[in-house]
Structure 1
Amino acid sequence: MANITMRQMLEAGVHFGHQTRYWDPKMAPYIFGARGKIHIINLEKSLPMLVDAMNFIGGIASKRGSVIFVGTKRAASKSIEEEAKRCGMPYVSHRWLGGMLTNFRTIRQSIKRLRQIEKMEEDGSFARLVKKEVLQLTRERDKLEKTLGGIKDMKNLPDAMFVVDVGHEDIAVKEARKLGIPVIAVVDTNCSPNDIDYIIPGNDDAIRSIRLYTQLAADAVLEGRASVPHIDDSDEFVELDEYGNPVKRAAKDSKAKPKKAEKKKVAKKVVSKKAPVAADAVETVKEKAGEAAEKVEAKAAEVAEKAKAKAGEAVEKVEEKAAEVAEKAKAKAGETAEKVEEKAAEVAKKAKAKASKAAGKVEEKAAEVTEKAETAAKKVTEKVEEKVKAATTKKKVAKKKVAKKKTAKKAAVKKSTED
């Protein structure tokens, strides 16, 4: 089913393993050798194992089973998401939540919440909400879409799991083993092949090699689905007698006849029709199943109509209650707003009065301080002036004394010369 050559694997770099110091000894049978301290994977062993794994995936798809694609590391997330979407299979490409398989009932509740938010966005419920609520819902939706967007259409547990990098996705592998789900995994030289049902020895780090694995897995799913025979309503089931010849069906309104007569007629009448073959039991079961299906559909239609009516009534009641609550909230909000405005006005008035009083007191204190400063300055200037006057008078007196002494000396000199 898988068309892959060794040249394609070489070009994608499937043969490159990890460094020799990081190897797992259990991968020794799949290692060809080492080159430049890097292990080389033996593609002669890897190719048939890859083909077997892809054939197994195709067989599951041919039985209308589902295969979940798992690869959350950066190199694998994009190709896992694209190829899983291409073949219509569930996938996990962002982060594996613990209990995604073992606690699937709880995960279903989160998926239900995601669908509810998406429905609210589609039917225009966001327009009735406040911006903050819309932002919260969009953030919640984006978070759920990242982790659960790939499995939101998965109604039951998958029939198999395709994993890229067993070491990185060890929790997913453990959950699958616990539930008995077969695991198809790409195993590099640094990982253990234990607990893997279909081992694909190869490079799980290179983007090109991961792209090759995911493309092959998606192609195997598509081929397996294409091989399923499609039965239309126009197809007819034909009875066979004990000799393998087709038997003409009796009309429904005809009366029942003994079995021996039926066998004789069956042996004589032959009808040549090219259609799938079935036995009498299949026809009777089909007729009963058709009648039961019609009854179930009628009951389902009645139940659906009743449920729709009840849902409509419930929605109307909820809308009425929501309108009442909104009106009450608006009234309360108006009253509280008026009260807040009144209180704010009172507080503003009190603040203004206090501010004016404080300003008056400050002005009075400032006037007192200025008066005191002026009086002190006047006193200082008076004292300075008095000191200046005293100093000038002292200088004048000293000058007069000096002049008197000079005149006295001159007079004494004259007397001495005259004598």
Structure 2
Amino acid sequence: MANNTEVKNLLDAGVHFGHLTRKWDPNMAPYIYMERNGIHIINLYKTKAKLDEANEALRKIAASGRKILFVATKKQAKDIVAQHAGDANMPYITERWPGGMLTNFVTIRKAVKKMALVDRMKKDGRYETLSKKERLQVDRMRAKLEKNLGSIVDMTRMPAALFIVDTVREHIAVKEALKLGIPIFAMADTNANPRDIDYVIPSNDDASKSIDIIVNSAAQAIKAGLEDRKNEKNNEAAKSEKEAKAEKPAKAKKEAVKAEEEE
């Protein structure tokens, strides 16, 4: 599962390559192993420890039935995050962060509902009553909303946490999460400020292989949490069924005794 990601796998994926030393954030010093050819090298043993810690927390959130919103708008991360987050049945933002996504969540939900409205119009025939120009405008609006917000259509309430790739780039998402007290899980390169992150995963957030191995690990942890939730529900259902079956003979016996007493 998620926690089986070894240091060797991280090394092979280039997770240890940081930014140029002149671009570093001094707060990342505890996670830096050394400097080589003007580039900071991340301590992968600390990366693994932090990844395991983050995965355990992600698993618990998923097991509770809450959503984790993935955020990654940089080119090399978009498709990777969309794939893994989608596989884990979690919402994600990969186009651009809509301002107020969290702090003005009600308005964002209204925009998402517009897509559902257009879909209903096409089903009940109202769409056909529109003029050609109006249909074109509606289709354009629907396509734009689908591109930017289609991946969060099932997120009916605020996410329990954010998983961010590159907090420097996604600084608006970080600010909104901090303002609302929403926990942040993030891949943090050597130019990031880890003090803003609840679960920091020191790692190369520029290379696709590095992004893939970390995000995949997180997604697997979430899947494990969802499986835990499913198993717990099945166990509760089985327990309830067993108790119901046990109650039937006892109830019948009680009724028989009562009938005898009445006679």
Q: Do they fold alike, i.e. is TM over 0.5?
A: yes
Q: Does 2:17 correspond to 1:20? A: no
Structure-1 residue corresponding to 2:212? 211
1: CA distance, partners of 2:81 / 2:122: 28
1: CA distance, partners of 2:31 / 2:219: 25
> How much does 1:118 deviate?
2.3
2: CA distance, partners of 1:143 / 1:27: 38
Q: Does 2:237 correspond to 1:232? A: yes
What are the residue-to-residue correspondences of 1:338-353 with 2, within 5 Å? none
Structure-2 residue corresponding to 1:57? 58
Q: Secondary structure at the match of 1:181?
A: coil
2: CA distance, partners of 1:253 / 1:135: 71
Structure-1 residue corresponding to 2:261? none
> How much does 1:172 deviate?
0.9
| Paired residue type of 1:232 | A
Q: Secondary structure at the match of 1:186?
A: strand
Q: Does 2:82 correspond to 1:81? A: yes
1: CA distance, partners of 2:184 / 2:253: 51
After TM superposition, the score normalised by the length of structure 2 is 0.88
Structure-2 residue corresponding to 1:321? none
2: CA distance, partners of 1:136 / 1:81: 28
| Paired residue type of 2:242 | E
Structure-2 residue corresponding to 1:411? none
| Paired residue type of 1:93 | T
Identity %: 46
| Paired residue type of 1:58 | R
2: CA distance, partners of 1:113 / 1:65: 24
| Paired residue type of 2:97 | W
Structure-2 residue corresponding to 1:94? 95
Q: Secondary structure at the match of 1:40?
A: strand
> How much does 1:251 deviate?
4.9
Which of structures 1 and 2 has the bigger CA Rg?
A: 1
What are the residue-to-residue correspondences of 1:181-196 with 2, within 5 Å? 181-196=182-197
| Greater RCO structure (CA 8 Å; 6+ sep) | 2
Per the alignment, do residues 225 and 252 of structure 1 end up closer, same or farther by CA in structure 2, a change over 3 Å counting?
farther
Per the alignment, do residues 134 and 223 of structure 1 end up closer, same or farther by CA in structure 2, a change over 3 Å counting?
same
> How much does 1:252 deviate?
10
| Paired residue type of 1:192 | N
What are the residue-to-residue correspondences of 1:235-246 with 2, within 5 Å? 235-237=241-243
Q: Please tell me the root mean square deviation across aligned C-alpha atoms, in Å.
A: 2.5
Question: Deviations along 1:174-210, whole A, 9 cap, x unmatched?
Answer: 1112222111111000110012111100000111111
Structure-2 residue corresponding to 1:112? 113
| Paired residue type of 2:241 | D
After TM superposition, the score normalised by the length of structure 1 is 0.56
Could you list the runs of 5+ residues in structure 2 that have no partner in the other structure? Answer: 259-263
Q: Secondary structure at the match of 1:194?
A: helix
Question: Deviations along 1:59-109, whole A, 9 cap, x unmatched?
Answer: 111111211111111111111111111111111111111111111111111
| Paired residue type of 1:36 | N
2: CA distance, partners of 1:151 / 1:249: 50
1: CA distance, partners of 2:237 / 2:132: 51
Give the length in aligned residue pairs: 252
> How much does 1:31 deviate?
0.5
What are the residue-to-residue correspondences of 1:215-364 with 2, within 5 Å? 215-228=216-229, 229-230=232-233, 231-232=236-237, 235-237=241-243, 249-251=250-252, 254=255
2: CA distance, partners of 1:10 / 1:235: 50
1: CA distance, partners of 2:128 / 2:254: 61
